[in-house]
């Protein structure tokens, strides 16, 4: 995957010469009929004129995203639920998504993500160094995620934990929460992402099981089946925030901070080769595939999270076949 920074920088430089496409999803006219002042028969109806002015102000507010000026920022990525958009704007600009401020680095790079069940329209507001404001309505494609229903299971295997298990789960949760209190301003994500391992995809992001009528949490990431011992490579550069080999659910777990609150989590590892605070580069081996934690067989579970929102790792990747041939030496035990 080519450098997003190079692509987006070129896109931003080219934008002033391009015509702006009006975003969809916001009304161009008010829902109610506007009183036409010219049809007033000369009557000085202040109430009706006030109603007209109010309606026109409402339209003007809606139409702010259609100001006709070329956009001075660019977005690349997946405009879908679970997607991540990688952005480039002018140096010194600030960015907000639906009113929440987004981290922008010293080169004008930023990213935004959308969860499995995100709304289908978001508003991106970019305030430029000269004080001008660019607004864009982002349409998010709705996705259908697989749902599997399984009935007749032993209920003890569907729900419930012992007191000891709950204590372990709480302790693990505290470790993860502490590790996620910081992120780096460096946009390590800007070089793009590669597959951490290659193999059969055994689980996809967003799928959900309903066991004995009880809905379980949607699948938080991507499962890639591979033999125990298969090397796991960093999909992008980053800083290791957590490296633990005995988590209740995850087993061997590594959290890798790619900057701007974008984090990779690697689960069920049989071996961990990194430690907290360590910087790794794209392609570095960070450990090995395993079957540790709450799992039925060896595979890598890779999840990607932006600002606390789970997103789909597969939407950041090129096809697996593009890199599989170069990793013929990667094998398990």
**For residue 331, is pLDDT > 70?**
no
Element (H, E) at 89: strand 84-89
Instruction: Provide CB contacts within 8 A for 187, sequence distance 6+.
Output: 5, 105, 107, 109, 111, 259, 260
Q: How many CB atoms lie within 10 A of CB 209?
A: 16
What distance lies between CA 14 and its chain's CA centroid? 26
Q: What are the DSSP calls for 175-239, one per residue? A: HHHHHTT---SS-GGGG----SS-SEEEE-TT-EEEETTEEPPPP-SEEEE--TT-EEE-SS-EE
Q: How confident is the model at residue 148 (pLDDT cuts 50, 70, 90)?
A: confident
| Domain residue ranges of the chain, discontinuous segments joined by + | 4-139, 147-327
Higher pLDDT, 306 or 10: 306
Out of 28-42, 133-147, 223-237, 300-314, least confident range = 28-42
CATH number for the domain formed by residue range(s) 4-139: 2.60.40
Return contacts of 9-15, CB within 8 angstroms, 24+ apart: 9/88, 9/107, 11/74, 11/76, 11/88, 12/72, 12/73, 12/74, 12/88, 12/89, 12/90, 12/108, 15/70, 15/71, 15/72, 15/73, 15/74
DSSP structure class, residue 80: B
User: Is the domain covering 147-327 a CATH 2.70.70.10 domain?
Assistant: yes
According to the model, what pLDDT value does residue 112 have?
98
DSSP-derived 3-state class of residue 87? strand
> Does residue 91 register a pLDDT over 90?
yes
Neighbours of 247 (CB within 10 A): 23
What pTM was computed for the model?
A: 0.77
Residue 197 has pLDDT above 50, yes or no: yes
β-strands 208-211, 147-150 pairing: parallel
Q: pLDDT tens-digit profile of 49-75? A: 555 455 445 444 443 444 444 578 999
């Amino acid at each position: 995957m080519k450098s997003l920074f190079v692509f987006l920088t070129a896109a931003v430089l080219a934008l002033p010469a391009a015509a702006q496409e009006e975003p969809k999803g916001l009304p161009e006219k008010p829902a109610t009929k506007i009183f036409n002042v010219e049809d007033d028969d000369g009557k000085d109806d202040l109430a009706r004129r006030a109603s007209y002015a109010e309606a026109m102000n409402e339209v003007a507010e809606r139409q702010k995203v259609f100001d006709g000026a070329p956009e001075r920022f660019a977005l690349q990525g997946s405009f879908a639920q679970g997607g991540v958009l990688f952005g480039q704007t002018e140096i010194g600009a600030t960015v907000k998504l639906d009113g929440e401020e987004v981290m922008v680095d010293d080169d004008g790079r930023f990213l935004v993500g959308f969860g499995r069940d995100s709304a289908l329209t978001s508003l991106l507001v970019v305030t430029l160094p000269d004080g001008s404001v660019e607004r864009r309505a982002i349409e998010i494609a709705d996705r259908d995620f697989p749902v599997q229903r399984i009935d007749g299971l032993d209920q003890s295997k569907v729900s419930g934990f012992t007191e000891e298990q709950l204590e372990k789960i709480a302790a693990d949760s505290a470790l993860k929460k502490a590790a996620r209190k910081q992120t780096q301003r460096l946009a390590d994500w800007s070089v793009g992402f590669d597959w951490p391992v290659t193999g059969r995809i055994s689980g996809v992001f967003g799928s959900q099981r309903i066991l004995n009528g009880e809905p379980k949490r949607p699948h938080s990431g991507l499962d890639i089946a591979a033999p125990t011992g298969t090397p796991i490579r960093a999909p992008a550069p980053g800083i290791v925030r957590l490296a633990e080999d005995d988590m209740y659910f995850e087993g061997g777990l590594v959290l890798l901070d790619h900057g701007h609150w974008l984090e990779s989590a690697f689960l069920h590892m049989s071996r961990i080769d990194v430690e907290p605070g360590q910087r790794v580069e794209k392609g570095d081996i960070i450990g090995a595939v395993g079957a540790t934690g709450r799992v039925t067989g060896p595979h890598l579970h890779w999840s990607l999270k932006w600002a606390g929102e789970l997103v789909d790792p597969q939407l950041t990747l090129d096809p697996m076949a593009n890199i599989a041939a170069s990793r013929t030496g990667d094998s398990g035990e």
